[in-house]
Structures are given as C-alpha cells and as structure tokens.
Amino acid sequence: MTENTLSQKPRLSRQKIRKALLIVSFLLIPATIFYISPIVILMGAAKGIATGSLLLFAALAVLSLGVSRLWCGWLCPMGAWQEICSPVMKRTVKDGRRTLVKYGVTVLWLVLIAYLFIGAGAVSSRSIPFTAR
C-alpha cells in the first residue's frame, strides 16, 4: 500500500495551472499589447479597417458564450494583474456600482466603434484579404 502512494506523482491543481498561465500571459504583455488593445480597434474602425484586434475580441465574445471564463480567468494579462493585486486590496466594490461601470464602459465602447465604422463608410475592401483592388 505504501508503494502505491510513494510512486504516485503529485498532481498540479487546477488553480496552480491557471495561475501559471496568468503569469505567462502577464509577462508577455509587451509582445501582445497590440493584439488586445482597444485603441487599435478604434484606430482601425476610424479608417474602416477590421483589425486583428477586433477579430480577436469578436472571437472572445463568441467563445465566452460556450466557455465563459476561459479568457478572463485563465489567459487575460489584466486578470493576472488583478490576481497579483488581490491580496493587497482588501476593499471590494458593491455589485450594483461595479455592474453599472462594467456595462456602461462596454456599451460606450461598442457605440464608439459603430460610430467610427459608420463615419468611415463601413468596412472598406482594403481590409478584406485576397480581393482585387
């Protein structure tokens, strides 16, 4: 019986794997900042170009319907920053205000993107690969 317990390797817990992935994503911020930057989306929308950042955010929005916390809880560099700072910050924000701010910022951001695309004349053919120009 003791042989079985000694020969078994200790398994990594799910939380340790999640924290390791978050640390790696946090350390990769200098390389990935342009892929996850809302500013790049707004700059592209102003010129009528669907940027890779916009496509990434759209894919994450669709993915979140099936695997809800994959990006936020496991891969997002800002989630890693929150994980690092959480022991330091003891005060929590009440749900009502947090929800209002979260959805308010999201709605404003989506309205701004739509406004910029409309102002640019929608998505231009320059942003569609393999088309005649």
Q: Distance between CA 18 and CA 33 in Å, rounded?
A: 20
Spatial CB neighbours of 34, under 8 Å, sequence gap ≥ 6: 40, 53
Q: For residues 15-32, give the mean pLDDT.
A: 83
Residue 82 lies in a domain: yes
**DSSP character at residue 91:** -
Secondary structure of 22-85 in the HEC alphabet?
Answer: HHHHHHCHHHHCCCCCHHHHHHHHHCCCCCHHHHHHHHHHHHHHHCCCHHHHHHCHHHHHHHHH
Query: What is the extent of the structural domain holding 23?
Result: 14-127
> Please, which pLDDT band fits residue 31 given cuts at 50, 70 and 90?
confident
> Please, which pLDDT band fits residue 130 given cuts at 50, 70 and 90?
low
**For residue 131, pLDDT beyond 70:** no
Q: Distance between CA 53 and CA 40 in Å, rounded?
A: 7
Q: For residues 78-101, give the mean pLDDT.
A: 73
How high is the pLDDT of residue 48?
82
Helix axis angle, 38-46 to 95-119, nearest 10°: 30
Residue 1 lies in a domain: no
Residue 102 lies in a domain: yes
Overall number of domains in the chain: 1
Residue 7 lies in a domain: no
**For residue 6, pLDDT beyond 60:** no
Residue 3 lies in a domain: no
Please state whether the predicted TM-score (pTM) of the whole model is above 0.75.
no
**For residue 4, pLDDT beyond 60:** no
Residue 5 lies in a domain: no
Residue 46 lies in a domain: yes
How high is the pLDDT of residue 133?
53
Q: Provide the percentage of residues in the chain whose pLDDT is more than 90.
A: 0
How high is the pLDDT of residue 124?
58
